[in-house]
Copies of this chain bind each other. A is one copy, B any other.
């Protein structure tokens, strides 16, 4: 019931997994940005189902349609409505599952939240398919960030199951992430991860993992303490991505093990610019960027849809029963989540750049 995110760059989503479409209205995009629809489509393609052996076999073309807000190829300042139509839906099995909530899914939560009126087909409003809307809004945000400040938002798979990738350079991230199906920039790790996913799938099971994300060139001074912090707003948005269960900035959880003398990032000067010698803080202090890369890690739980039998209850009789969840599911959502995480981050960062006055209401306008 709260499908709008952001204060000045505001994203309102609509649509369901097995409804007619998934769409988004972006309100507050600065006027005067020349939309790159090729980039927008390419971002959707990175998220699209059916890309590889390690993702779901549901096939959706997911061609973006733009209904408003663009005139002569340029943003007008009016709301930009974008959508993709649903085509390859198969709702037959969901009638069977209607009264037996799938463990790990939102079925029971939705039942209690919406009093039984929710669209339960394919997860309805709780489906991962909704992230297509995030990607459309985020692709637009990425374009504006890149065009106005050279900001780059780069995500990649850093963990699948128990396989944690070694540290990588930004060059590896830029060069390798999209060149393998798991989106891990380390080729060896990528191969191991891919194998692990296939193995889990063959066993009717699923895997979790983690995505690391870095935003480069965010200027210092961005964030609105004490409540609308850069970390807080990023975290809030990231938890709206299905299956996310943990968000860490910089060294994150590992900071609990450090001493202050290790964790504090010393200030230094490089080329006349203030920098930090390390980045344990993930580029944010007091909820405000300091000019270092904004870095965070997002943990995804294993896909809840597994074909192994699971214990649940019948909501009508309140008796225990067993279900198996067949269908075309990702055995691990992490690879396809990479562009989603980037999109959510770009959306939040652009909102904060506008709030701070760093991106103007009209592109190119100087006061």
Contact = CB atoms under 8 A, between A and B. Distances in A.
A327 B279 CA distance: 26
A114 to B, nearest CB: 4
A267 B311 contact: yes
Given A4-B10, A77-B117, A313-B267, A260 B20 contact: no
Interface in A262-307: 262-269, 272, 274, 276-277, 280-282, 284-291, 299-306
B245 A250 contact: yes
Interface stretch (A50-58, A103-111, A174-182): A103-111
Contact of A161 (B21, B69, B240, B257): B257
B301 A101 contact: no
B76 A125 contact: yes
A105 B285 contact: yes
A308 to B, nearest CB: 5
Contacts of A346: none
B265 A104 contact: yes
A91 to B, nearest CB: 11
Interface stretch (A41-49, A139-147, A183-191, A352-360): A352-360
Contact of A367 (B74, B110, B232, B358): B358
A193 B307 CA distance: 44
Q: For the side of the interface on A, what is the size category?
A: 35 or more
Number of copies: 4
Given A12-B4, A81-B15, A103 B267 contact: yes
A228 B27 CA distance: 12
Contact of A362 (B117, B159, B208, B255): B117
A261 B159 contact: no
B264 A14 contact: no
Contacts of A25: 3, 12, 14, 25
A154 to B, nearest CB: 20
Contact of A67 (B15, B104, B105): B15
A13 interface: yes
A104 to B, nearest CB: 4
A367 B361 CA distance: 13
B260 A206 contact: yes
Interface stretch (A165-173, A216-224, A335-343): A216-224
Closest 9 CB pairs of A and B: A106-B286, A112-B221, A2-B228, A115-B362, A104-B264, A206-B260, A109-B288, A232-B239, A103-B264
